[in-house]
Amino acid sequence: MRHALERHRYLLDFTLASLARRKGKSLALLVVYAAVVFALASVLFFTEALRREARAVLRGAPELLVQRTVAGRHDLLPADWIPTVAGIRGVGAVSGRLWGYYFDPLTRANFTVMVPEKFWGARGEAVVGSGVARARGLGAGDALALVASGGRYLTLAVREVVPAEAERVASDLVLVGEEDFRELFGVAPGHYTDLSVAVRNAKEVGVVARKVAQALPDARPITRSELLRTWDSVFDWRSGLVVLVLAGAVLAFGIVAWDRASGLSAEERREIGILKAIGWETSDVLLMKVWEGAAVSIAAFALGVLAAYGHVFLGRLALLAPVLRGWSTLQPDLRLVPFVDALQLVSLFFLTVVPYTVATIVPAWRAATIDPDRVMRGTL
């Protein structure tokens, strides 16, 4: 056992010395390789953290929402939909929700103005999210002037600011009372943005949603499970940015693997020839090449993963943040709760380390099985 371990250590010594002789090439390979792992791991860690957070946080979302669509677009619905929906068997409580978007010309930001079911402020008061407070420089007691639908100003007193910890759910919120909402957007009494429906038996949500669609043909029911699925697919592995980064990384690996598989350099081939001439077995040469691939891969994997962890969970996603923030004026808080599991790391390992290690063995096997004399003379 000890002998076998010592043999592997000598092979590793030899491999590292061989890599050190090609210092520039080896270092460049290590940096590029680690950068690919870093990019992949960053996206993987970030999407998984947000996906888990979405699942944990949105489990309290309304069980069933009913929207009205007119000419293919979301429209206000009349209050007489409430008794119709409430009359469906299995439905508990139905309440009309009022919410909408306000484009603030001052900050060029979009606010979500909403009437909570039980607004705790008085008329003329608002509770604002921390993003709104930051953009407008507001604190409790300040005045928030908004342009109402008729063109005149509606000035609200800021009652309180939602704590910054809730930024990822409430950053852009402006919570107001029903009268202020209707005045701001010119929504006539008896009209709502959508309906929030509580279903007595959670297993019947799908059935109730179907009955709502039958009773009200203009209705579009959205269940909580659909809502969670939407957010799941937003951060799905197969989606958008992830696929792009993944495709780039896989392509880069393809090129490296092809480069390795298409043959060794004359210098590497000569080295193998000399090793065989001085008595190395084919299996020794192969083992040395396995160590070479593994040494580079494992080092790159470790550097890439550790750097990605620091980037996502300690560095607040500094490199990806500009892409994610895009045109948003109210920028999301990116202090994520770290959710990293073994499956993620194993997938990453098999996606990066294994292909490269395998790619280094094939040409080495070809070179190791030919006549050392021919290799050294360069007649191949």
Partner 1 sequence: MTPRRSSAYLAFLAVASALGVAAAVHAKAERTRRGPELEAKAVIVRSLGLTDLCLFTEARYTRHPSQADRFSPFQDSPGSPEHFPAGSIVPPPRNP
232 binding partner 1? (CB under 8 A): no
Q: How far is CA 274 from CA 368, 372, 374, in A?
A: 11, 7, 11
Residues 283-322: x where in contact with partner 1 by CB under 8 A, - otherwise, as a string:
------------x--xx--xx-xx--x---x---------
Minimum Å distance from CB 36 to partner 1?
17
Q: How far is the CB of 16 from partner 1 (least distance, A)?
A: 4
Size (the chain), residues: 380
Least distance from C-beta 213 to partner 1, angstroms?
14
Q: CB of residue 263 vs partner 1: minimum separation in angstroms?
A: 26
Residue closer to partner 1 by CB (options 148, 295) is 295
Q: How many residues sit in the footprint of partner 1 (CB under 8 A)?
A: 84
Q: Of the ranges 70-78, 85-93, 262-270, 365-373, which one interacts with partner 1 (CB under 8 A)?
A: 70-78
Element spanning 24, H or E: helix 23-57
Asked if 56 is part of the footprint of partner 1 (rule: CB under 8 A), the reply reads yes
d(CA 28, CA 30): 5
Q: How far is CA 77 from the centre of its chain?
A: 34
Kindly state whether residue 92 participates in binding partner 1, applying the rule CB under 8 A: no
199 SS3 class: strand
**Per rule CB under 8 A, is residue 231 in the interface with partner 1?**
yes
List of residues 6+ apart from 246 with CB closer than 8 A: 40, 43, 237
Give the residue with the Cβ less far from partner 1, 34 or 375: 34
Site for partner 1 in 98-117 (CB under 8 A): 101, 109-110, 112, 114, 116-117
Q: Which is nearer to partner 1, 90 or 100 (CB)?
A: 100
Which residue intervals of the chain are DSSP H helices?
A: 2-21, 23-57, 81-86, 130-136, 167-170, 178-185, 205-215, 224-234, 240-261, 266-277, 282-309, 321-325, 342-368, 372-377
Question: Which listed residue (34, 44, 64, 65) binds partner 1 by CB under 8 A?
Answer: 65
Binders in 176-205 for partner 1, by CB under 8 A: 194, 196
| Among candidate residues 16, 17, 18, the one with its CA nearest the CA of residue 269 | 18
